[in-house]
Amino acid sequence: MPTYTFEDTKTKKEFDKEMKISELKDFLDQNPNLIQIIKATPLVDPYLLGRYKTDSRFRDVLKKIKNEHAGTTVRTDNITEI
């Protein structure tokens, strides 16, 4: 079921509500003080994009895994400091 974002025009507060697509029109008709807000949903992980870097403790765990398990494919050479 999709999640829709609404804004109450009286209070200016935004909230999310999960409902069927077929219920959306009736919900808006019953609540004339609400308007639907269209927001983009992030489709990728910011860690995968390189926007956020892992902290040093996590990198240490990866290095420990690599050292203790011969033949592993865990890469620790491309991890940069924060």
Which percentage of the chain shows pLDDT scores above 90?
41
Domain enclosing residue 26, as ranges = 1-41
Same-domain check for residues 24 and 11: yes
Q: Cβ(54)–Cβ(47) under 8 Å?
A: yes
Same-domain check for residues 15 and 46: no
- Global pTM? 0.49
Summarize pLDDT for 5-30 with one digit per residue, the tens: 999 999 999 999 999 999 999 999 99
Same-domain check for residues 28 and 57: no
